[in-house]
Structure 1
Amino acid sequence: MDWIQQIVNGISLGSIYALIALGYTMVYGIIRLINFAHGDVFMVGAFIGFYAIEGAGLGFFPALLLAMFICAVLGVVIERVAYKRLRGASRIAALITAIGVSLLIEYGTIYLRGAQPEAFPNVFPQTSFHFLGATISSTSIFILSVSVALMLILQFVVRRTKIGKAMRAVSHDADAARLMGINVDRTISATFAIGSALAGAAGVIFGIYYTKIEPLMGVIPGLKAFVAAVLGGIGIIPGAAIGGLVLGLVETLVSALGYSNWRDAAAFIILILILILKPSGILGKNSREKV
């Protein structure tokens, strides 16, 4: 049955959006900042994975871990250099800075390596499974498995570890957390590191899924992941995962119905509808916010 294959493909794509969206929602939950440079960290992760596999001859998992580590460091550098000094500034100042950092990463990458795209190497044998009459690729199953594993690890870190408890405390009340002895600056940096590591992992997985990567590849997936975060409830970690999966399924459904030219537009139509009907998102609660 073709619909089973479409569902699996949609969930696999949605899991990539979910990994990127988690970085958006974690950072917003801590410091109320929309980090629009996050999509470009995703792009950097894809290229690190590409060069690690193609140039250094590493396997998938070493390349994945390397991309996650370097993107985590990049996330901390971005936070310390660009955002730390703006914590007391207006929202618009932080937003403009985020857009500036995004452009800096994009065109810095183009300056260093050129704008030409690359074909991501095949790291897995192309095999298929037959289930209820549907043909499901092993790549889709593998991508879904890795993404779910990373999301479960994140949930464990946030709920069970010391840094996760510090993140939740800072998200709830940064001043009270500081009075209780929590290092707020270190916690914010850790949040950027974890979110950026997940974006780097998503970049490698995206490269395997779509094979083509290029310096501006982070723009549309980054915006779609932001839509996924808003859809699920910005600042709520499970909401980002749910929003990503829903968005992936909707895009796949739109393409399956023969409207593939509308698949990108579908994400932004969803954004408009969710802002009109339920601005707090699927898991969010309506609350007054002073701006």
Structure 2
Amino acid sequence: MNLELNIFVTLALTMLVTAILGVIIEKVAYKPLRNSPRITALITAIAVSYLLQNIMLYVVGPEAKSFPQIIQNKQYTIGSVSIGQMEILLLGTSLVLMVLLQFIVQKTKMGKAMRAVSIDTKAAELMGINPNTIISFTFLLGSALAGAGGLLVGMYYNTINPMMGTAPGLKAFVAAVLGGIGVIPGAMVGGLLIGMVEVMISAYGNSMIRDAVVYFILILILLIRPSGLFGKSNKEKV
């Protein structure tokens, strides 16, 4: 019981710290660029990413650090299928967070305001919604979930380093595009599909090209179905 409590306390504290960091970054780096072209925000995102990575490189050094083993990865076998306790914890936590996020976005007043601002900021403002508050909340929510993801990755691999978020971040983007941008369950399905593809490629002895295959899938989905597997095509009526 104490072990489980430690896991969830660590998860809650991690999400709290990253949420606060996300809000600070939004206020400092993004809010002044609110009315700038979208390419400016994209460049800023890349710059902030490298800034955070290099700050951590300076603070903790480039060497990988061992991550405390919070739980024993006990294996369970059902027929010919074997799954570890760690995999169950990661999948269960991810599902809970996904359901919670879906509930916030679809059912709460703040979630409705988020969707309104994403569609038309000016119209939302005319309806009494403060876009600055909504955008800050979005950064808070996204940063908290990113912190949870980082913790789960560290638990799974038992090691962390300042550059560890680059590859998972890019693959998360691919998963979101594959499932459909803005479709939360679709992003999770996309992530599971990408994971299955990577495992199959590694199983057949071609682990060196698994990342290339993932990005090839991104190119294919953008060419064939840009809206993703679960997204809806928005055709402009003339």
Q: Please confirm whether the aligned pair reaches a TM-score higher than 0.5, indicating the same fold.
A: yes
Query: For the residues of structure 1 that align with 2:22 and 2:186, how far apart are their CA atoms?
Result: 22
Match of 2:178 among 231, 247, 255: 231
Q: CA deviation at 1:177?
A: 1.4
Match of 1:16 in 2: none
Query: For the residues of structure 1 that align with 2:31 and 2:193, how far apart are their CA atoms?
Result: 33
State the AA in 2 paired with 1:89. Answer: S
Match of 2:14 among 67, 75, 78: 67
The answer as to 2:167 corresponding to 1:249 is no
Where does the alignment leave 5 or more consecutive residues of structure 2 unmatched?
A: none
Match of 1:154 in 2: 101
Q: CA deviation at 1:283?
A: 1.9
Match of 1:23 in 2: none
Question: Which structure carries more relative contact order (alpha carbon 8 Å, separation 6+)?
Answer: 1
Q: Secondary structure, in 3 states, of the residue corresponding to 1:59?
A: helix
- For the Cα contact (< 8 Å) 2:98–2:185, is it kept in 1? no
Q: CA deviation at 1:248?
A: 1.4
Query: For the residues of structure 2 that align with 1:84 and 1:247, how far apart are their CA atoms?
Result: 34
- For the Cα contact (< 8 Å) 2:110–2:134, is it kept in 1? yes
The answer as to 2:111 corresponding to 1:135 is no
- For the Cα contact (< 8 Å) 2:98–2:184, is it kept in 1? no
Number of residue pairs matched by the alignment: 233
Match of 1:219 in 2: 166
Q: Cα deviations across residues 166-224 of structure 1 (Å, max 9, x unaligned)?
A: 11221222212111111211111111111111110011110111112101111111111
Question: Scaled by the length of structure 1, what TM-score is found?
Answer: 0.76
Q: Cα deviations across residues 5-40 of structure 1 (Å, max 9, x unaligned)?
A: xxxxxxxxxxxxxxxxxxxxxxxxxxxxxxxxxxxx
Match of 1:172 in 2: 119
State the AA in 1 paired with 2:34. Answer: R
Q: CA deviation at 1:135?
A: 2.1
Per mean C-alpha deviation after superposition, the further-off stretch among 183-192 and 245-254 is 245-254
Match of 2:38 among 76, 83, 91: 91
Q: CA deviation at 1:238?
A: 2.7
Question: Scaled by the length of structure 2, what TM-score is found?
Answer: 0.92
Larger radius of gyration: 2
State the AA in 1 paired with 2:88. Answer: I
Query: For the residues of structure 2 that align with 1:191 and 1:134, how far apart are their CA atoms?
Result: 39
State the AA in 2 paired with 1:269. Answer: F
Match of 2:52 among 102, 105, 108: 105
Q: Secondary structure, in 3 states, of the residue corresponding to 2:231?
A: coil
Query: For the residues of structure 2 that align with 1:218 and 1:165, how far apart are their CA atoms?
Result: 30
Q: CA deviation at 1:76?
A: 1.1
Match of 1:122 in 2: 69
Q: Secondary structure, in 3 states, of the residue corresponding to 1:282?
A: coil
Question: Quick one: percent identity of the two aligned structures?
Answer: 53
Match of 2:226 in 1: 279
Q: Secondary structure, in 3 states, of the residue corresponding to 1:129?
A: strand
Give matches, 1:191-230, under 5 Å: 191-230=138-177
Q: CA deviation at 1:119?
A: 1.2
Q: Secondary structure, in 3 states, of the residue corresponding to 1:89?
A: coil
Alpha carbons of structure 1 residues 114 and 208: separation in structure 2 relative to 1, 3 Å: same
Match of 2:92 in 1: 145
Tell me the C-alpha RMSD between the 2 structures.
1.7
Query: For the residues of structure 2 that align with 1:175 and 1:236, how far apart are their CA atoms?
Result: 23
- For the Cα contact (< 8 Å) 2:114–2:134, is it kept in 1? yes
Query: For the residues of structure 2 that align with 1:284 and 1:126, how far apart are their CA atoms?
Result: 36
The answer as to 2:211 corresponding to 1:264 is yes
State the AA in 2 paired with 1:181. Answer: G
Match of 1:40 in 2: none
Q: CA deviation at 1:288?
A: 6.0
